């Protein structure tokens, strides 16, 4: 509903509410009353205490800052998804550690992973890697620029009782890492980049619209023939330049990759790309 610009997720008895900035016509006092009323309704509906509600303010298309810290509470707890355990933190970052809109795609990767080598790029907290491991992947390789999230990914592995000895966790700028000559070829690649990214530790900035063709084509060099690359983006105005992708078998699987309980069917876009 346009008059309620709230994204609400329910985690094991807790509410994570992200309010998107809009050009509302309320003054400060009216806005405070509106927000208070919204929170009271949600608290009553879900029968939870006030301290079980975590409210964030965010702006659209701020991919460069989506993982920055906003608090220091370290309120970390476990949630279950399809029988797997993940650590989430509802207080300290704009995002929680687990993107719920990708749970269908995560399950698909798990179902296809048995005996496979799986590469997870822009891996964040490694949820796709955990699913692949649960599905019997021979190896997983998890690549992200942040040590914080790579360590979080390792903790997710440990929470599920998975040994990490044969699984790699690589701290690197993905855009540069995939330009290297492949050291091994993978059977499945998951490529879910941010919309925008700026970092003092990278050589260049990242823009998914500008960079996605080069990013996908370089990723395909790391894929086995007949291997599968899943590419996804949550940039609302994204225009996929399919003709420039160096693969002949490309399928838009957006609708089937979005969970049924998501009213917003544009929460992300997703393509299945097979290397031939």
Per residue in 105-115, pLDDT (tens digit) is 999 999 999 99
Sequence-ordered alpha helix ranges (H) in 103-185: 103-112, 127-134, 147-159, 174-177
Residue 233: predicted pLDDT: 97
Domain locations in the chain as residue ranges: 6-58, 98-274
Q: Taking Cα atoms as reference points, which of 87, 85, 84, 68 lies closest to residue 76? A: 87
Residue 211: predicted pLDDT: 94
| Cβ-proximal residues to 244 (8 Å cutoff; 6+ apart), any chain | 213, 217
| Cβ-proximal residues to 165 (8 Å cutoff; 6+ apart), any chain | none
- Exposed e or buried b per residue across 114-123, where buried means at least 16 C-beta atoms within 10 angstroms of its C-beta: eebbbbbbbb
- Given a cut of 80, whether residue 58 has pLDDT beyond it is no
- Given a cut of 50, whether residue 61 has pLDDT beyond it is no
Q: Taking Cα atoms as reference points, which of 70, 62, 55 lies closest to residue 18? A: 55
Over the stretch 168-222, which tens digit does the pLDDT of each residue have? 999 999 999 999 999 999 999 999 999 988 766 666 789 999 999 999 999 999 9
30 versus 140: the higher-pLDDT residue is 140
Q: Considering the chain, what percentage of its residues have pLDDT values greater than 70? A: 89
- Given a cut of 80, whether residue 124 has pLDDT beyond it is yes
Strand-pair category, 196-197 with 206-207: antiparallel
The SS3 call for residue 105 is helix
The beta strands (E) that lie in 83-240 are given as 84-89, 117-121, 139-144, 168-171, 186-191, 196-197, 206-207, 223-233
Range with lowest mean pLDDT among 16-20, 34-38, 159-163: 16-20
Over the stretch 227-237, which tens digit does the pLDDT of each residue have? 999 999 999 99
CATH homologous superfamily, domain 6-58: Macrophage Migration Inhibitory Factor (3.30.429.10)
- Tokens 């823009």 label which residue? 207
Is 80 buried (19+), middle (13-18) or exposed (0-12) by CB count in 10 A? exposed
Decide: 109 and 199 in contact? Cβ < 8 Å. no
**If you average pLDDT over residues 239-268, what whole number do you get?**
93
| Cβ-proximal residues to 176 (8 Å cutoff; 6+ apart), any chain | 202, 203
**If you average pLDDT over residues 120-136, what whole number do you get?**
98
- Tokens 């990490």 label which residue? 164
Q: Could you tell me the pLDDT band of residue 144, with boundaries at 50, 70 and 90? A: very high
**Range 98-274: architecture per CATH:** 3-Layer(aba) Sandwich (3.40)
């Amino acid at each position: 509903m346009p008059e309620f610009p709230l994204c609400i997720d329910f985690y094991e008895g807790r509410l994570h509410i992200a309010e998107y900035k809009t050009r509302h016509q309320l003054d400060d006092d009216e806005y405070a009353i509106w927000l208070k009323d919204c929170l009271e309704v949600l608290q009553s509906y879900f029968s939870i205490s006030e301290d079980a509600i975590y409210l964030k303010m965010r702006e659209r298309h701020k991919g460069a800052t989506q993982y920055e810290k906003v608090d220091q509470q370290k309120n970390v707890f476990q949630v279950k998804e399809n029988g797997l355990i993940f650590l989430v933190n509802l207080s300290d970052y704009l995002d929680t550690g687990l993107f719920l809109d990708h749970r269908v795609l995560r399950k698909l990767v798990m179902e296809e992973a048995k005996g496979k080598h799986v590469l997870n790029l822009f891996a964040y907290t490694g949820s796709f890697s955990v699913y692949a491991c649960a599905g019997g992947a021979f190896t997983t390789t998890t690549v992200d620029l942040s040590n914080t999230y790579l360590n979080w990914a390792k903790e997710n592995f440990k929470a599920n009782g998975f040994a990490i000895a044969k699984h790699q966790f690589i701290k690197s700028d993905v855009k540069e890492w995939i330009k290297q000559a492949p050291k091994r070829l993978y059977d499945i690649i998951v490529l879910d980049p941010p919309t925008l990214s700026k970092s003092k530790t990278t050589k260049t900035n990242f823009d998914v619209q500008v960079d996605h063709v080069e990013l996908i084509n370089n990723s395909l060099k790391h894929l086995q023939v007949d291997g599968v690359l899943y590419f996804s983006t949550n940039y609302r105005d994204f225009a996929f330049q399919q003709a420039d992708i160096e693969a002949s078998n490309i399928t838009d699987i957006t609708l089937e990759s979005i969970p049924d309980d998501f009213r917003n069917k544009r929460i992300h876009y997703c393509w299945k790309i097979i290397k031939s």
